[in-house]
C-alpha cells in the first residue's frame, strides 16, 4: 500500500505551503517507505509515499501521460494493467508500473474509465489543461481514503486521517465505489453492480463456477515483483487462499524470482486455536510456515500505536487489528512486502453465526449486501491499515469485483444455513472446494467452525483487554460517558478506554464521525437483534459470548468443532452433502454473533 495526499485549489501556492504539504505527506511514510514524490501545479499539490510492489526500479510517482499534462498519484494495484495497455496502442508508457495506465486511460476515455480498472485503488488525477481533477476509490473500499475541505475552498485528499485532520475545517470518509469530479462539483457512484440494489438474485448455485471465479481472483493477485506470502489462521477462508496460491504459484513470475515454495504466516498467543489449525494446514500444503507468538502484555503495550494507525475506536476492529499489527511488523522484518488475506468471505456468504437466525432468503441476502457495503469501515480498514503501518500490502481475493458478481448472483436460498440438510454457514463455498479427487483441504479444515479472529488468536487476549481497561476506566467515568462522548457513547469500559486514546490523537468532531455505530455495532446490529431479540442486551462483540457456542464446541473436540470430521470417512457423509455429522450437530447451536 502507498500513501497519497493532495491539496487542490488552495489559496496559497507559496514555498511555505509546499513545505507544509511535505510535512503532512511524511505522516503517511509508513505506508510507502520506498520513495516519496511531490508535484505542484499552481495551487494544486499531489504527494505520494511509495511502497514498490510492481516495477520497483522505475515506478515512482506521481505518474504522467506523454506530455505531462495529466498527473496522477495512486495507492493500489491494477491487476488488469497489461490488458489495459493493449487497449492503448497509441500511448507511450514511461514505467512498467501497473498504475501507469490511469493517466492514459483518462486521456483516451475521460472520467468514465474508472470501471475499467480491476483492482484495489485510490487515486487523485489532475488535468493541468483546465485545472480540473477527479478522485476515485475502489469498489468496496479495500484501500483507505478520506476527503476534507478547507476554509479557503480547498479540497484535501488523504489515505489516512492523520494527513488532513489538522488542516481541514471538515473531513469524512471518501465513499467506496465513488468518483469526485471538480467539473461536476460532487460525488457520483461509478460502481453499480446488480447486487447493489439488493434485489433478490435467482441464479442457481454452480459450485464449479464459484470455484473457478475464486481461483481466478487469487491467481491475478500473484502479480508481484517482490517477496510475498499468505496470512494463514487455519480457518476456512485463509486456508482456501493458501491452498489455491500454493497450487498456482509454480510457473508464475513470482516463483521464478523468489522460489516456488509458498510462505505462510500466523499469529497468536501460545497454544491458541489459530496457531494449531494454521500449522496443520501449512503441513498439509507444504508451505514454509512462520508462527509468531505474542503475549497479552505485548498487545496491550501496542494498543496506542494500533489506534493511531487504524484510526478507529470500534472495539471489535481494535481487538482484531492488534495481533495483525504485531504480525505485520514481523513479516516485514523478514523482507516480505505483500501478503494475500481472506477478508470478505463472511460478508458475501453470511458466515457470521447470527445468520443462522435469518428468517428467509430475502432477509439473508439483504443483510449480506449491507455487510459488504460496510466492509470499508471494519475488516477492510483493519486489513489495510494494520499492514500498511509497517509498509506491508494486503490483497483480498474474496473482494474481487468479478468474484463478488458471481457469488452475489447465487439464489440466496443456497446460502441459507440449514442444519437439517447438512448446510452450515458458508456451505456453498465449502462445497465448491470439496474435491474428492484432488482435495484442496482436509475435510475437518474445510468444514471447520467459524472463529472470530480476535478469539482465534487466544481467548485470554480479550479477557486481558477487558481487565486492562477496567484498571483505567472507573464506574464514575462510565456514568458520565454520554456527556463526554455524546456521539457513539461507549457502553463498556473497554470501549471507553479506546475512545479516550482515539480522542487524544484525533480530537476533531469530524474524526469521531468517521467511526460508525458505536462499540458493539460490528456484532450487535439492528438486524441481528431483529432476528433474535435476546441479543438486544449483548454488549460484548466477542462471538464466544453467545450461548456458550464455542465453549460447547471446544469442550469435546480439543480445539475445533470440526475436529471430528477427521474421524469420518467420505463414505459416511450424510445427505450427499459431504458434511460431517458432527458439524450438523454444532450448526444447530451456532447462533452467536461474530463481528
Cα distances (angstroms) measured from residue 421 to each of 269, 340, 446, 567, 581: 36, 33, 17, 21, 11
User: What does the alpha-carbon distance between residue 329 and residue 346 come to, in Å, rounded to a whole number?
Assistant: 26
Fold that domain 207-587 belongs to in CATH: Rossmann fold (3.40.50)
Any catalytic annotation for residue 266?
A: no
Helix 296-310 to helix 379-388 angle (10° resolution) is 100
Residue 165 in grid coordinates: 485532520
Positions at the binding site for ATP: 231, 267, 341-342
User: What does the alpha-carbon distance between residue 101 and residue 121 come to, in Å, rounded to a whole number?
Assistant: 13
pLDDT at 581: 32
Positions at the binding site for L-glutamine: 98
Cα distances (angstroms) measured from residue 314 to each of 84, 128, 336, 377, 387: 39, 40, 29, 9, 18
Taking the alpha carbons at both ends of the chain, their separation in whole angstroms is 25
Which position among 2, 10, 44, 266 bears the catalytic label?
Answer: 2
Sheet strands (E) in 111-191: 119-127, 132-137, 146-149, 155-158, 170-173, 178-181, 186-189
Q: Where are the domains of the chain?
A: 3-192, 207-587
- Report long-range pairs for 542-545 (Cβ below 8 Å, ≥24 apart): 542/319, 542/452, 542/454, 542/455, 542/462, 543/353, 543/450, 543/451, 543/452, 543/455, 543/592, 543/593, 543/594, 543/595, 544/452, 544/455, 544/459, 544/592, 545/592
pTM: 0.90
Positions at the binding site: 98, 231, 267, 341-342
DSSP tag of 579: B
Exposure string (b/e) for 516-542, b if CB count within 10 Å is 16 or more? eebbbbbbbbebbbebeeebeebebbb
pLDDT at 534: 72
Kind of pairing, strands 338-340 and 393-395? parallel
- In 394-458, alpha helices (H): 401-407, 427-432, 443-446, 453-456
User: What does the alpha-carbon distance between residue 327 and residue 342 come to, in Å, rounded to a whole number?
Assistant: 15
Fold that domain 3-192 belongs to in CATH: 3.60.20
User: What does the alpha-carbon distance between residue 31 and residue 48 come to, in Å, rounded to a whole number?
Assistant: 10
Instruction: Tell me the pLDDT of the chain (595 aa) as tens digits.
Output: 799 999 999 989 899 999 999 999 999 999 999 999 999 999 999 999 999 999 888 888 999 999 999 999 999 999 999 999 999 999 999 899 999 999 999 999 999 999 999 999 999 999 999 999 999 999 999 999 999 999 999 999 999 999 999 999 999 999 999 999 999 989 999 999 999 999 999 999 999 999 999 999 999 999 999 999 999 999 999 999 999 999 999 878 888 888 889 999 999 999 998 899 999 999 999 999 999 999 999 999 999 999 999 999 999 999 999 999 999 999 999 999 999 999 999 999 999 888 989 999 999 999 999 999 999 999 999 999 999 999 999 999 999 999 999 999 999 999 999 988 889 999 999 999 999 999 999 998 999 876 555 566 767 999 999 999 999 999 999 999 999 999 999 999 999 999 999 999 999 999 999 999 754 444 445 677 788 777 666 656 555 544 444 444 334 333 333 433 333 333 333 333 333 333 333 332 232 333 3
207-587 and 3-192 share a CATH fold = no
- Report long-range pairs for 21-24 (Cβ below 8 Å, ≥24 apart): 21/45, 21/47, 22/47, 24/158, 24/163, 24/164, 24/166, 24/167
Amino acid at each position: 500500500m502507498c500513501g497519497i495526499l493532495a491539496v487542490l485549489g488552495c489559496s496559497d501556492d507559496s514555498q511555505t505551503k509546499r513545505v507544509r504539504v511535505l510535512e503532512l505527506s511524511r505522516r503517511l511514510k509508513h505506508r510507502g517507505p520506498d520513495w516519496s514524490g511531490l508535484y505542484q501545479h499552481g495551487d494544486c499539490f499531489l504527494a505520494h509515499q511509495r511502497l514498490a510492489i510492481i516495477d520497483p526500479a522505475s515506478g515512482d510517482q506521481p505518474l504522467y501521460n506523454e506530455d505531462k499534462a495529466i498527473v496522477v498519484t495512486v495507492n493500489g494495484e491494477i491487476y488488469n494493467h497489461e490488458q489495459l495497455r493493449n487497449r492503448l496502442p497509441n500511448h507511450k508508457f514511461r514505467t512498467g508500473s501497473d498504475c501507469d495506465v490511469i493517466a492514459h486511460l483518462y486521456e483516451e476515455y475521460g472520467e468514465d474509465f474508472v470501471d475499467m480498472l480491476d483492482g484495489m485503488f485510490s487515486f487523485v488525477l489532475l488535468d493541468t489543461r483546465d485545472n480540473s481533477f477527479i478522485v476515485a476509490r475502489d469498489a468496496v473500499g479495500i484501500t483507505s481514503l478520506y476527503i476534507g475541505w478547507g476554509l479557503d475552498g480547498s479540497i484535501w485528499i488523504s489515505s489516512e486521517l492523520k494527513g488532513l485532520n489538522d488542516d481541514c475545517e471538515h473531513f469524512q470518509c471518501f465513499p467506496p465505489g465513488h468518483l469526485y469530479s471538480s467539473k461536476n462539483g460532487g460525488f457520483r457512484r461509478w460502481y453499480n453492480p446488480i447486487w447493489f440494489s439488493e434485489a433478490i438474485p435467482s441464479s442457481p448455485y454452480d459450485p464449479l463456477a464459484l470455484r473457478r471465479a475464486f481461483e481466478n481472483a487469487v491467481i491475478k493477485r500473484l502479480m508481484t515483483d517482490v517477496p510475498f506470502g499468505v496470512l494463514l489462521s487455519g480457518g476456512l477462508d485463509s486456508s482456501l487462499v493458501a491452498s489455491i496460491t500454493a497450487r498456482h504459484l509454480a510457473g508464475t513470475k513470482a516463483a521464478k524470482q523468489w522460489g516456488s515454495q509458498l510462505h505462510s504466516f500466523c499469529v497468536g498467543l501460545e497454544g491458541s486455536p489459530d496457531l494449531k489449525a494454521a500449522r496443520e494446514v501449512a503441513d498439509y500444503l507444504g508451505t514454509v510456515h512462520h508462527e509468531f507468538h505474542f503475549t497479552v502484555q505485548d498487545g496491550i503495550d501496542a494498543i496506542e500505536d494500533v489506534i493511531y494507525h487504524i484510526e478507529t475506536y470500534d472495539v471489535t476492529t481494535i481487538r482484531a487489528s492488534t495481533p495483525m499489527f504485531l504480525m505485520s511488523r514481523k513479516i516485514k522484518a523478514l523482507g516480505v512486502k505483500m501478503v494475500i488475506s481472506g477478508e470478505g468471505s463472511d460478508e458475501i456468504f453470511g458466515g457470521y453465526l447470527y445468520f443462522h437466525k435469518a428468517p428467509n432468503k430475502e432477509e439473508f441476502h439483504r443483510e449480506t449486501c449491507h455487510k459488504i457495503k460496510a466492509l470499508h469501515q471494519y475488516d477492510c480498514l483493519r486489513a489495510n491499515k494494520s499492514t500498511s503501518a509497517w509498509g506491508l500490502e494486503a490483497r483480498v481475493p474474496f473482494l474481487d469485483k468479478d468474484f463478488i458478481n458471481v457469488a452475489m448472483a447465487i439464489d440466496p436460498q443456497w446460502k441459507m444455513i440449514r442444519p437439517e440438510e447438512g448446510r452450515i454457514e458458508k456451505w456453498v463455498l465449502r462445497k465448491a472446494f470439496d474435491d474428492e479427487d484432488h482435495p484442496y483441504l482436509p475435510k475437518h479444515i474445510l468444514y471447520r467452525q467459524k472463529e472470530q479472529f480476535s478469539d482465534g488468536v487466544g481467548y485470554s487476549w480479550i479477557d486481558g483487554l477487558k481487565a486492562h481497561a477496567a484498571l483505567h476506566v472507573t464506574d464514575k467515568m462510565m456514568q458520565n460517558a454520554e456527556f463526554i462522548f455524546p456521539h457513539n457513547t461507549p457502553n463498556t469500559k473497554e470501549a471507553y478506554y479506546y475512545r479516550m486514546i482515539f480522542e487524544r490523537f484525533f480530537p476533531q468532531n469530524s474524526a469521531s464521525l468517521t467511526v460508525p455505530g458505536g462499540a458493539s455495532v460490528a456484532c450487535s446490529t439492528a438486524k441481528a437483534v431483529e432476528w433474535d431479540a435476546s441479543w438486544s442486551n449483548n454488549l460484548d462483540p466477542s462471538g464466544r459470548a453467545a450461548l456458550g457456542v464455542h465453549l460447547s464446541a471446544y469442550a469435546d473436540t480439543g480445539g475445533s468443532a470440526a475436529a471430528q470430521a477427521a474421524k469420518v470417512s467420505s463414505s459416511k457423509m450424510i445427505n450427499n452433502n459431504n458434511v460431517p455429522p458432527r458439524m450438523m450437530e454444532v450448526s444447530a447451536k451456532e447462533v452467536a454473533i461474530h463481528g
